[in-house]
């Protein structure tokens, strides 16, 4: 991929367990709110296809509900039915006619944060039966927002059924052709709800102590590991902190990460927040990197960092400092689907572009020298 003898770390291969990616730029999961009945649409094809032609090392699909009721909204992807599986199978097959970039899928259950409207319309909770809404579930019957419908508190039998739903979705993901599964244990969704003492007020074996609060995450990981092929990569995304005193902490995340590594997970993807709306999060460049650094010190499997990482040199510095093993990019890719090209240019890396795009490089296109410079306008 590169022509320089000493490549920047961002453009060196990385093994995520059995899957080796060509470089350490990962397209993070980004919800598109464009599915119909949980089924991928042409929007997903153009959205993901552009990234597939961008030279990223790995692309991870958006949060995909392991059940329809586990979706964030009525417009999110799910992987519970044959129709949903068939659409994702076709999507991957079509993309692989022009790109061999590895694809992952983030399997999720939104828990009490399910059944919401479009985020650009406020993302308000949808009441059961209204605009496709349904009753969410959670560790208890406490809603995420005061104006939201009370979730149904899961029974132990229903928890077991949820674990089984993750397993069945993983089997479908394998049949569809995905190379990697990322379990969604972050951003205030169901697994994170069970982890956080701010939300999990249960008094049974799924609540109270750290051991009990981790139980669901570990059961899901162990059950999915048992069915997910060993030649494919399996990891998890975790919110390392709730940013609230008395909430889920970096120290607890480190303990959980070690247990997940022992189960056989291949990577940990670190983010933060999302479980309560009152958290004061100090958003800024690299604001989540210290948490990734702490988890990297606790485990031997790769750790992925994310959060306000917007340039190639910024990403490279994080890797050079040993604070993470890979960098996941989300909204910066929405802003510029050719983010990898810009990073390579900034770091002096000569990418091997698809022949159909090589004419857009400085070697063959004089306009490349002008693209970042103001154009002189002739006076009338």
| Active-site annotation, residues | 189
In angstroms, the Cα distances linking 40 to 64, 84, 89, 213, 325 are 10, 7, 10, 33, 31
8 Å CB contact between 142 and 125: no
CB 263 within 8 A of CB 222: yes
**Closest CA relative to residue 193, chosen from 297, 125, 109:** 109
> What distance in Å separates the CA atoms of residue 213 and residue 203, rounded to the nearest whole number?
10
* Angle at which helices 250-263 and 215-227 cross, to 10°: 30
* Alpha carbons 235 and 149: distance in angstroms, whole number: 32
Distances (CA, A) of 145 to 41, 116, 246, 302: 30, 11, 19, 35
DSSP letters of 39-81? B--HHHHHHHHHHHTTT-SEEEEEEEESSGGGSSSTTS-B-SS
């Amino acid at each position: 991929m590169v022509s320089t003898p000493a490549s920047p770390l961002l453009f060196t291969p990385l093994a995520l367990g059995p899957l080796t990616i060509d470089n350490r730029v990962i397209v993070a999961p980004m919800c598109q709110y464009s599915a119909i009945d949980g089924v991928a649409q042409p929007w997903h094809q153009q959205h993901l296809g552009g990234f597939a032609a961008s030279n990223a090392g790995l692309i991870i699909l958006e949060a995909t509900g392991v059940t329809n009721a586990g979706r964030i909204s009525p417009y999110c992807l799910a992987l519970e039915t044959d129709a949903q599986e068939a659409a994702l199978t076709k999507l991957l097959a079509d993309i692989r006619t022009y790109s061999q970039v590895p694809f992952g899928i983030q399997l999720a259950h939104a828990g009490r944060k399910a059944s919401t409207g479009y985020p650009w319309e406020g993302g308000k909770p949808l009441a059961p039966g209204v605009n496709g809404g349904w009753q969410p579930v959670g560790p208890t019957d406490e809603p995420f927002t005061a104006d939201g419908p009370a979730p149904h508190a899961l029974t132990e039998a229903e928890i077991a059924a949820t674990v089984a739903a993750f397993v069945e979705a993983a089997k479908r993901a394998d049949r569809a052709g995905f190379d990697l599964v990322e379990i969604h244990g972050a951003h205030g969704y169901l697994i994170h709800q069970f982890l956080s003492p701010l939300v999990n007020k249960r008094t049974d074996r799924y609540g109270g102590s750290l051991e009990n609060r981790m139980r669901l995450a570990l059961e899901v990981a162990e059950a999915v590991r048992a069915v997910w092929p060993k030649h494919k990569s399996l990891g998890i995304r975790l919110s390392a902190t709730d940013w609230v005193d008395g909430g889920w902490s970096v120290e607890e995340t480190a303990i959980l990460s070690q247990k997940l590594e022992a189960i056989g997970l291949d990577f940990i993807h670190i983010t933060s927040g999302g479980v309560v709306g009152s958290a004061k999060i100090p958003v800024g460049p690299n604001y989540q990197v210290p948490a990734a650094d702490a988890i990297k010190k606790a485990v031997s499997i790769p750790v992925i960092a994310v959060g306000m990482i917007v340039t190639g040199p910024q990403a490279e510095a994080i890797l050079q400092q040993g604070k993470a093993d890979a960098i996941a990019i989300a909204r910066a890719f929405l802003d510029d689907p050719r983010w990898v090209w810009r990073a390579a240019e900034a770091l002096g890396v000569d990418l091997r572009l698809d022949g159909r795009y090589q004419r857009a490089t400085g070697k063959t296109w004089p306009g490349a020298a002008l693209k970042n410079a103001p154009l002189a306008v002739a006076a009338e």
